[in-house]
Structure 1
């Protein structure tokens, strides 16, 4: 009895720590778990122990899901039969059960939730598990019969293989091996042999990027999923969160800067050097790819790559891209079929708001979320050719020749909306250029040739071009911004001419920035600097701020990089929303408030303000001037971290003067609410 009680108390402590519940509420949690019924305590303890000690599911199967459902239902019904009210336990029970689920089942559960913003209910989860294992049972029976036949055939045809032993939970098991060790996708680290996955290994995470690269190579670990699956192809659909490359995010620094970023190699100095880059063959066909700025859930824009498909009846977006945007999705039971018999099921539908790279022209469309849309386009990277008919054109995809992932497929309705009449043709070996409202697209046959070239004294030639290179004068004053920024701003002024109400509200917004000293005119030039493109978004449903001016730090400058690409985002300081709601429900009366102009309360150091400049003038008779924003502004990659980190610093510096405010700011702050 003492053993069970001690073990249950340990489970209560683990649950309290896992849910980040204040230690002041430990006794309450312990009392809920034990209920302190003297004559029923042993029965209650036994049922709680069974409920919490259920085995986790590593791979989706009907049998495992059915066991989890049945045991969970039986134990909770047994506790209710003891006269204990469990109606308020739902969030904790759901949290414990979902921790046992495999990633695929958990993702399906989150997609099928009727009210994802509300606290989950235990009955809803149990209904989902029941429907899931009922649907999987016919497939499981079919797989079992097929597997038995395959095993029998393999047993008859496979030669004898060597055996080896390894220890698992104190038991020795024999395994047949053909020289490849497959690490079970569970909790055993191949590096330190402790019970955790490689990504959570402190020894691995503390390594330098180069050391990590050597380590995964020595352990025969996949660089994408960080598991060992031998020479088999990686089936994981997850990609690097920074560059969408086929490597783990923790390896971004080494792989993004080396093998995965396609660059044209410099030619060594030789008397006869063959071009080693891939060149497009006679039958290579270039498809119409475009680059767009797509609005995310927080109003910022993320640059993505899309394919214009005249033959598609529906727009598609990859799961990876949808998660990067963080857009809310509606459930839709749809199946997308292409050439052949392969069909893919939709993971919901999202509303996309896309903008051109060059002006404020916008496209709105609904897109089905799919695990994968297309392979990389083009099939291989090739050198750009000096086709005369596309010189000086604003290409919708300036990097059309680099083989890269496609995030979005835009259907025929979008194509018909943006296509224009002008078509330029070159030779038979060059693609066609067609004008659209978002830039010129290229498509059609592409043919180039391998050739031999003689390159001598390449260092002298480089010095020659460097001497002849035209650079921007360092004496340019702050009131003469670059031509590209001026062109973008004049496009905004043309929009003002069509919409006087927008112009009036926009001027009020900018003037407020100046009056509050959140923005000031540049007095001294500093290099390098970055000018933020800006445009307005009208939100008619908002009563407090119908106009929102968006500063786009993801827009690439003349260097080919954007400010957000070069900026570190900082660690995530955001509170877990579910934990906050559990704390919030502890009180009988609550109130909410927010920090006014949250980001704009944080001052940026004077020496860094030149990296967030804009161009502006009140009317066409004034010269266009540069202004520097003096406060943290939305649209910057690190804005959320800087604001949250400032609050943490305020707590450390002045919290002792306001003891009642410390707990609220530290535990009950969600962004600025």
Structure 2
């Protein structure tokens, strides 16, 4: 190629040109086209870089302006990603955002409100130079749905919809605004305003409410496991524990939802908890050939042990003749999944038997007979 190997100008130029922006590359290609067959030297390339640098330095202010204009045209994804050195909490001056401040969260709600007012911050996003009315962030309080941050929620503020009853508490599923990182993972959107019910303790020392539980077979990757399910006809979704998902080695599907878990898992949690995955699996009856596919959201715990205490049923001889879906219905036990109304409806078959002396009712299903109602507690075994 008639290249003088005593100098490596061409190789050095090639390496540096890969680091330049596309426009600068075009400028360089245009310049060397004037040399015809002459190979450019590094000295000529250095002269080009210096002149290009000065041109860009002169044009930099207008370029920044154009960049800002383009950014305003992009879809707004409200995700705060800032290095610790550039963030300063207005409450304690440490390197974190206000809603992450432990000292701020330890104050009373009224004290937090007063502080936000004194700093003229947005009640919705804690940002400066705008109010909640003009806030462009599409978020609301996770406890009442109004336009303020959940840390500023007062108990006197009620959500627009009706509150769940005292006997049964709701679990709400909300759509989450995906961050830029989450969008890259192509997570599926979650359902909105979905309620799944979980029962609270009866609160009585000598009686217990029996809930409908069943044992089901779940097979995955050649392994079959018997898991315990709570059939809840008041739930619009199904849930499964992380423990069961790991046991079955199920494939997790990323989702973007969160739960207001006042009742799910038997806990009182003030703020909603994100659900990151859902799974799909097939359940089979231990009493018949029935099977169906279930889509369930993955949570750490679906409910407290059912029942909460040991029960006894002595005055119902007919119950002993039924093939129960959960032979251990009378003993407190771990629950692996909550099957919602959709699955519950698929399992129902003809047949109801009622206890003549109490509210206990046995319902025939494709999973076996399920039991519900109030009964007596075995003394000395309360858990």
TM range (shorter): 0.3 to 0.5
Greater strand share, 1 or 2? 2
Instruction: Give TM-score, length-normalised by structure 2.
Output: 0.45
